[in-house]
């Protein structure tokens, strides 16, 4: 491989995964600058040393594995199918929060007596012929079927829509990704109860040797994780401000601790409100989960809170992202 000096990040070139990836990066202040929509290269102004490339999701994994690309965002299902993690690929963040789906064993609804993998094994023995399975994930499928004692099978490689294959008799069943299940029901198919092979969503991966031997790439990894993790952590939270009358910050904090959700991440932030009269007013600032907002407002009112203001939270930075520490530990473990 030719030595190069740039840092490369590969992103999906099209589809829902591409759109959601650009949205995530933009919300994390890592906007992609791509003046020409026909170009397959772009940049990130906030990360001036990074060259962005747009590729098919499968090609992203291959490029990161080969080291021609340093970082990539793609689906965990594709990473797993193409060999998973190891000496070449290191997952930096497994759950970016979008592109969620599962890889499942799927059979025709007409197979009323087939509900689980054991039933499938019984059917295969009764048929006395290999099960024909159409899939885009032959490695994951083969390993899963072997784990369930189904060795006698014929894997049929397929592109495009798989749902039609059992209907026309091209295969007995399929192994495919499910997101909502709507397409399966429309085509009279059903997933087996214990037939989930893999749970997947968008992930951030890196070329392990690059992180070990290229300090500037390690710094980019830190920045990517810093902003992405802080944004993902903030997405489900809101900042709440309120005024409360009390004898002191300590008294107000003790009142807040009697409630379930308004004690804050590590405790409430309380500051005095400067007024001409009645100097016993204080402003409290807490961060709560969005799904607990109604309860938080009611609890603040219970202890005398008023003037409640709620704002969105863009980042919640940790002392150091757990994902970054896990990355360093993985690199160190590999060295040893």
Residue 125: its pLDDT value, please? Answer: 83
pLDDT exceeds cutoff 70 at 1 = no
The top-scoring range by mean pLDDT among 200-214, 243-257, 269-283 is: 200-214
CATH no. for residue 299? 3.30.70.120
Residue 335: its pLDDT value, please? Answer: 61
Residue 180 lies in a domain: yes
Is the pTM of the predicted complex or chain greater than 0.85? yes
DSSP for 191-219? Answer: EEEEEEEEEE-EEEEEEHHHHHH-HHHHH
CB distance 211 to 327 below 8 Å: yes
* Euclidean distance between CA atoms 291 and 20, whole angstroms: 23
What mean pLDDT comes out for the span 313-322?
Answer: 88
Chain segment 287-316, per-residue pLDDT in tens: 999 999 999 999 999 999 999 999 999 999
For residues 157 and 303, state if they share a domain: no
* Domain span holding position 79: 7-99+201-234
Above pLDDT 70, what percent of the chain?
A: 96
What mean pLDDT comes out for the span 3-11?
Answer: 89
> Which residues, 6 or more positions from 245, have their beta carbon under 8 angstroms from its beta carbon?
278, 280, 281, 282, 304
CA nearest neighbour of 258 among 305, 308, 302? 302
What mean pLDDT comes out for the span 197-218?
Answer: 95
Above pLDDT 90, what percent of the chain?
A: 75
Q: What b/e readout covers 34-49, taking b as 16+ CB neighbours within 10 angstroms? A: eeeeeeeebbbeebee
Chain segment 136-193, per-residue pLDDT in tens: 999 999 999 999 999 889 999 877 789 999 988 889 999 999 999 999 999 999 999 9
CA nearest neighbour of 209 among 72, 80, 68, 87? 87
Chain segment 38-60, per-residue pLDDT in tens: 889 999 999 998 999 999 999 99
Residue 85: its pLDDT value, please? Answer: 74
For residues 86 and 131, state if they share a domain: no
Chain segment 17-43, per-residue pLDDT in tens: 999 999 999 999 999 999 887 889 999
Residue 69 lies in a domain: yes
Residue 105 lies in a domain: yes
Residue 193 lies in a domain: yes
Residue 96: its pLDDT value, please? Answer: 97
Overall number of domains in the chain: 3
Write phi, then psi, for 106 (nearest 5 degrees). -130, 130
Residue 266: its pLDDT value, please? Answer: 73
**Structural Rg of the chain based on CA atoms:** 26
């Amino acid at each position: 491989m030719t030595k190069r000096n740039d840092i490369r990040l590969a992103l999906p070139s099209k589809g829902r995964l591409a759109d959601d990836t650009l949205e995530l990066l933009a919300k994390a202040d890592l906007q992609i600058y791509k003046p020409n929509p026909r170009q397959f290269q772009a940049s990130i102004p906030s990360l001036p040393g990074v060259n962005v490339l747009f590729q098919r999701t499968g090609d992203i994994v291959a490029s990161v594995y080969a080291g021609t690309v340093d970082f990539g965002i793609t689906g965990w299902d594709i990473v797993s199918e193409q060999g998973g993690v190891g000496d070449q690929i290191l997952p930096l963040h497994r759950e970016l929060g979008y592109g969620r789906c599962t890889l499942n064993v799927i059979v025709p609804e007409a197979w009323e007596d087939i509900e689980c993998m054991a039933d499938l094994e019984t059917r295969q023995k009764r048929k006395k012929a290999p099960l024909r399975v159409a899939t885009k994930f032959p490695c994951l499928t083969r390993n899963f079927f072997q784990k369930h004692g189904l060795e006698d099978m014929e894997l049929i490689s397929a592109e495009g829509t798989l749902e039609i294959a059992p209907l026309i008799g091209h295969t007995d069943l399929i192994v495919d990704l499910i997101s909502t299940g709507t397409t399966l029901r429309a085509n009279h198919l059903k997933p087996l109860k214990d037939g989930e092979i893999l749970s997947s969503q968008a992930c951030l991966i890196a070329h392990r040797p690059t992180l070990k031997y290229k300090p500037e790439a390690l710094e980019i990894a830190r920045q990517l994780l810093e902003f992405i993790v802080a944004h993902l952590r903030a997405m489900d939270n809101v900042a709440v401000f309120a005024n409360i009358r009390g004898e002191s910050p300590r008294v107000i904090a003790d009142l807040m601790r009697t409630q379930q959700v308004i004690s804050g991440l590590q405790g409430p932030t309380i500051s005095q409100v400067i007024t001409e009269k009645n100097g016993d007013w204080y402003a409290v600032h807490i961060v709560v989960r969005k799904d607990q907002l109604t309860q938080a407002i009611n609890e603040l009112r219970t202890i005398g809170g008023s003037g409640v203001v709620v704002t969105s939270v863009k980042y919640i930075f940790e002392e150091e992202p757990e994902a970054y520490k896990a990355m360093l530990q993985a690199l160190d473990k590999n060295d040893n």
